[in-house]
Chains A and B, each alone.
Chain A
Amino acid sequence: DQQVKQNSPSLSVQEGRISILNCDYTNSMFDYFLWYKKYPAEGPTFLISISSIKDKNEDGRFTVFLNKSAKHLSLHIVPSQPGDSAVYFCAALLVDSGNTPLVFGKGTRLSVIA
């Protein structure tokens, strides 16, 4: 059973507008959440993360929101740029258990249209 779910396989957004990518998880023990970005023929690269003790983390154009009661997180990209077009993976782990391996969602392909 998928512990981390990204229910939207793809998303198209116009340049300059907001992109919102969503992620749900089922394991309430997860205490750290991350977003990775992946271009074709490359490995995933870290984008932004959030600890379970916070509900928001911001880094430039990227903001991650965490709603623990709903077991839901989202990534907001404002403004969206064509270079943001990639596959975005949500991931989770247990840091307090010694940094367990990452559990990834299936990914959402973001297309930013100029």
Chain B
Amino acid sequence: DTGVSQDPRHKITKRGQNVTFRCDPISEHNRLYWYRQTLGQGPEFLTYFQNEAQLEKSRLLSDRFSAERPKGSFSTLEIQRTEQGDSAMYLCASSRTSGGAYNEQFFGPGTRLTVL
């Protein structure tokens, strides 16, 4: 399967614990995005990388959230001291980059986080 993969698919944790999610993009894609989707909402942008550089972070990304893409391939999203409001589907997407044209973002299946 050459699509975007995410691990784990489901995570249940207690409030205050740290969690880490992984995303493996399509191999030739140099751009990687993280989005969050809560109940009744569309996906909301969190952050994105071009290769290993983190280019933009949304105001939704509080200090408890950190994302990395150390070698420009897979990425991790860590949430420290989880809160019940962090319960959501965390979606990863990847795309190529070519100037002046739209580059389709391909989404992974998501990681559903439940904070008890």
User: Which chain A residues have a beta carbon within 8 Å of chain B's beta carbons?
Assistant: 4, 6, 9, 32, 36, 41-46, 49, 51, 89, 91, 93, 95-96, 98-99, 101-107
Q: Specify which of B42, B91, B93, B99 is in contact with A107 (CB 8 Å cutoff).
A: B42
Residue of A nearest to B42 (CB): A104
Return chain B residues, CB-CB under 8 Å to A9.
Answer: 40
User: Which chain B residues have a beta carbon within 8 Å of chain A's beta carbons?
Assistant: 4, 31, 33, 35, 40-45, 48, 56, 58, 91, 93, 95, 97, 99-110, 112
From A41, A44, A91, A99, name the one whose CB has the most chain B CB atoms within 10 angstroms.
Answer: A99
Asked if residues A43 and B41 are in contact (CB atoms below 8 Å), the reply is no
Return chain A residues, CB-CB under 8 Å to B44.
Answer: 104
Query: Considering the complex of A and B, which 5 residue pairs feature the smallest CB-CB distances, nearest first?
Result: A104-B42, A43-B107, A101-B45, A95-B102, A104-B43
* Cα A85 to Cα B58 with chains together (Å): 32
From B42, B45, B101, B104, name the one whose CB has the most chain A CB atoms within 10 angstroms.
Answer: B42
Q: Specify which of A46, A51, A106 is in contact with B42 (CB 8 Å cutoff).
A: A106
Asked if residues B42 and A43 are in contact (CB atoms below 8 Å), the reply is no
Residue of B nearest to A4 (CB): B42
Interface of A is mostly: loop
Residue of A nearest to B9 (CB): A41
* Cα A89 to Cα B43 with chains together (Å): 9
* Cα A89 to Cα B35 with chains together (Å): 14
Q: Determine how close the nearest CB of chain A comes to the CB of B16; give it in whole angstroms.
A: 27
Asked if residues B41 and A44 are in contact (CB atoms below 8 Å), the reply is no
For this complex, 10 residue pairs linking A to B, each with C-beta atoms less than 8 Å apart, are A36-B107, A42-B109, A43-B91, A43-B107, A44-B91, A46-B104, A95-B101, A99-B103, A102-B45, A106-B42
Q: Specify which of B4, B40, B58, B102 is in contact with A43 (CB 8 Å cutoff).
A: B4
Sample of 15 more A-B contacts, CB < 8 Å, known A43-B4, A98-B97, A101-B56: A4-B42, A41-B112, A49-B102, A51-B102, A95-B100, A95-B101, A95-B102, A99-B97, A99-B103, A101-B33, A102-B33, A102-B105, A104-B42, A104-B43, A106-B40
